[in-house]
């Protein structure tokens, strides 16, 4: 069975999310625009992504505000930005095994769309939006907090997600490795550019990341390399 087929078993995904969800709403949330365009212009998940982004931001903001009464607004904003970033959401998506469930068009399928940080992060937001529509704010907010809790409870990974380039430099230094070197490639039209960053840390690690900006692509690559090197360092 094709993984892009709408009949793909979603049980493992729902189990990882810890929610029940209307099947039609779930399929909608998993439908990337590339799949929609290749299948007669069926609805895709970008409106759900827009909705989920708001639910995500509100839920994380409330948690950080309540649990960090000593922190000023600037520090809270920085923490929130890291938790809801494309890099962090893509990490969460990989943890729950989201990639195989994506409904992608042939072009995205052939270019590694199932592991693209931007697609994974956007689909996570769409899933949150779908849960909000189907189950309400309380359930959607509880889902958000379950998803982000492991990141918040792991200071090293939280710091890496907040500033992966600095974290990568630090772990490279601990291993007496050269400073990370980044290379950037861009593709697509000006209004929809996609950037791919490759970071190399001597002979110890090479990692690739992608994003809608050079900064996001480098951050994704840096977090991937940091994950590899931090395991070696420990």
| Tens-digit pLDDT profile for residues 77-107 | 888 888 888 888 988 998 899 999 999 999 8
Residue 135 sits in the same domain as residue 34 = yes
Q: How many CB atoms are closer than 10 A to CB 8?
A: 16
Tokens representing 77 are 């904003």
| Across 36-53, average pLDDT | 95
What is the per-residue pLDDT for 200?
96
How confident is the model at residue 233, as a pLDDT?
A: 75
Q: Which long-range contacts (CB under 8 A, 24 or more apart) does 203-209 make?
A: 204/172, 204/175, 204/177, 204/229, 204/232, 205/229, 209/87, 209/117
Is there a domain that residue 2 lies in?
Answer: no
- Give the residue from 137, 140, 141, 147 showing the smallest Cα distance to 94: 147
Q: Which residues carry a binding-site annotation for Mg(2+)?
A: 49, 122, 125
**Whether 29 and 113 share a structural domain:** yes
Q: pLDDT at residue 155 above 70? A: no
- Buried/exposed 170-180: b ≥16 CB within 10 Å, e otherwise: bbbeeeebeeb
Domain around 49: 10-153
* Shared-domain flag, residues 123 and 34: yes
Does any domain span residue 5? no
Query: Which stretches of 4-65 are assigned E, i.e. beta strand?
Result: none
Q: Torsion angle of alpha carbons 16, 17, 20, 24, nearest 10°?
A: -100
Considering the domain architecture, whether residues 88 and 202 belong to the same structural domain is answered as: no
How far apart (Å, rounded) are the C-alpha atoms in residues 177 and 100? 35
Q: Please say which residue of 153, 179, 198 terminates a domain.
A: 153
Percentage of the chain surpassing pLDDT 90?
58
* Listed residues 153, 180, 196: the one ending a domain: 153
Judge whether 182 and 199 are in contact, CB under 8 Å: yes
d(C-alpha 127, C-alpha 1), whole Å: 23
Last residue of a domain, one of 153, 178, 197: 153
148 and 217 share a domain? no
How far is Cα 130 from Cα 180, in angstroms, rounded to an integer?
A: 39
Q: Place 156 in a pLDDT band, splitting at 50, 70 and 90.
A: low
Residue whose C-alpha is closest to residue 124's, from 60, 195, 79: 60
Same domain, 85 and 104: yes
Sequence-separated (6 or more) residues with CB below 8 Å from residue 125:
48, 49, 50, 52, 53, 56, 89
Backbone angles phi, psi at 160, to 5 degrees: -65, -40
Q: Are residues 129 and 31 in the same domain?
A: yes
pLDDT of residue 215: 85
The predicted structure's pLDDT at residue 63: 93
Mean pLDDT value across the chain = 88
Same domain, 104 and 188: no
Residues 103 and 148 in one domain: yes
The domain tally of the chain equals: 2
Indicate which CATH number applies to the domain containing 69: 1.10.1520.10
Same domain, 27 and 133: yes
- Categorize the per-residue pLDDT at 47 as very low, low, confident or very high, splitting at 50, 70 and 90: very high
Average pLDDT over residues 157-179: 85
Residue list for the binding site: 49, 122, 125
Domain holding 220: CATH number?
A: 3.30.160.20
Same domain, yes or no, for 90 and 31? yes
pLDDT at 8: 59
Q: Would you name the residues annotated as active-site residues? A: 53, 125
């Amino acid at each position: 069975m094709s993984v892009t087929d709408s009949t793909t078993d979603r049980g493992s995904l729902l189990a990882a999310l810890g929610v029940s969800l209307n099947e039609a709403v779930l399929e909608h949330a998993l439908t990337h625009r590339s799949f929609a365009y290749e299948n007669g212009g069926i609805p895709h998940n970008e409106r759900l992504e827009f909705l989920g982004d708001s639910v995500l931001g509100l839920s994380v903001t409330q948690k950080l505000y309540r649990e960090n009464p000593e922190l000023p607004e600037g520090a809270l904003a920085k923490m929130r930005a890291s938790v809801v970033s494309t890099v962090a959401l893509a990490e969460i998506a990989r943890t729950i095994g989201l990639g195989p469930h994506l409904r992608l068009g042939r072009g995205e399928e052939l270019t590694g769309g199932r592991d693209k940080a931007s697609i994974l992060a956007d689909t996570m937001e769409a899933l949150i939006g779908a849960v909000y529509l189907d189950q309400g704010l309380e359930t959607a907010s509880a889902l958000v907090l379950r998803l982000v809790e492991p990141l918040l409870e792991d200071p090293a990974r939280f710091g890496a997600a907040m500033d992966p380039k600095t974290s990568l430099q630090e772990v490279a230094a601990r291993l007496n490795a050269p400073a990370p070197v980044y290379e950037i490639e861009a593709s697509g039209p000006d209004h929809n550019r996609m950037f791919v960053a490759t970071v190399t840390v001597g002979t110890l690690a090479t990692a690739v990341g992608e994003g809608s900006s050079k900064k996001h692509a480098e951050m994704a690559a840096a977090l991937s390399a940091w994950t590899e090197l931090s395991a070696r360092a420990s």
